[in-house]
Amino acid sequence: MSRAKRIILPLLFGILLLGIWYAARPIAGFSRFALPFPHEVLSALSAHWHELLPAAARTIQTAGTGFVAALALGMAAALLMASRATARATLYPWVLVLQMTPLVVLIPLIVLWMDGFWSVLFIAFLIAFFPITASAVQGLLSADPAALELFHLHRATWWQQMRHLRLPGALPYILTGAQISASLAIVGALTGEMFAGQVTDGRGGLGYWIILYRAEGDTAAMLGAGLTACLMGFAFVGTVQLLRRKLLGRWHESFSPRHEQLRKMR
């Protein structure tokens, strides 16, 4: 697909969605409170930028810190579980338990255990941890058996295997998990701020202001804060996408010209 089509098609679909949005309110009989028009959301966003801009900075700082912590600790846990079957059998079921436990149950407890900032940071870390860990473990365990036999034949050390075989092969998996976690870190930070933002003396992030605008009945401003969070998520995921292209673009098959030709044939 040409670059022009990649730009025009999403743009046309976005225009269609805007048309549906504008038509939905009069057809369904919604009030301005229930469904503000897009231009009303943008107007509220402009009116509240002095509140939302510093709030967005706090949210992205918390989400970024939680994402980096999840990436570092998730990779450490993945290396341990991929290297030792005993560690994998012991730890991986508990990683799954942690992932399957609803955050709605854990968040009130986390807020009781930690103060405002640290509780939000921990929630962002917690929600971003599993995709990175699971993807990295899967990638590290997917090394070519023939290549592993060759490394064993030459008596390669554990670190040599990891550095020259397992980690390069697992890189696409790791970056896919990081891409998922990047967006989830924003969601985790917003969720934590909705529960713990009040603890920060009115200096909470976007989640705090979303709750505040909802309490005030300002739906347009609430959606404006949500739009700001959406743009932050695009920035996070876009950064990981650029990193993925930088690290994989020269050798991975998903970026090869042949792969692009096969996609065009579909």
Question: pLDDT, tens digit, for every residue of 59-103?
Answer: 999 999 999 999 999 999 999 998 888 988 898 888 888 778 887
**Res 259 pLDDT > 60:** no
Neighbours of 93 (CB within 10 A): 10
First to last CA, the chain: 10
- Token pair for residue 31? 């009030």
Grade residue 145 by pLDDT with cuts at 50, 70 and 90: confident
Rounded distance between C-alpha atoms, residue 27 and residue 231, angstroms:
29
Can you tell me the mean pLDDT for 231-235? 88
pLDDT tens sequence across 10-64: 889 989 999 999 998 888 888 888 889 999 999 998 988 888 898 899 899 999 9
Cα–Cα distances (Å) from 234 to 37, 74, 187, 228, 249, in that order, read 22, 22, 12, 10, 21
Distance (Å) of CA 63 to CA 8, 60, 142, 205, 212 = 31, 5, 30, 10, 20
Per-residue pLDDT averaged across 220-225, rounded? 92
pLDDT at 198: 52
Reading the block at residue 138, the tokens are 């899967």
| Token representation of residue 45 | 């966003």
CA dihedral (181, 234, 16, 262) positive or negative: negative
- Res 202: pLDDT: 52
Tell me the pTM: 0.83
Q: How far apart are CA 118 and CA 37, in angstroms?
A: 36
Task: Give phi and psi for 36, each to the nearest 5.
Answer: -70, 150
130 or 115, greater pLDDT: 130
What pLDDT score does 199 carry?
44
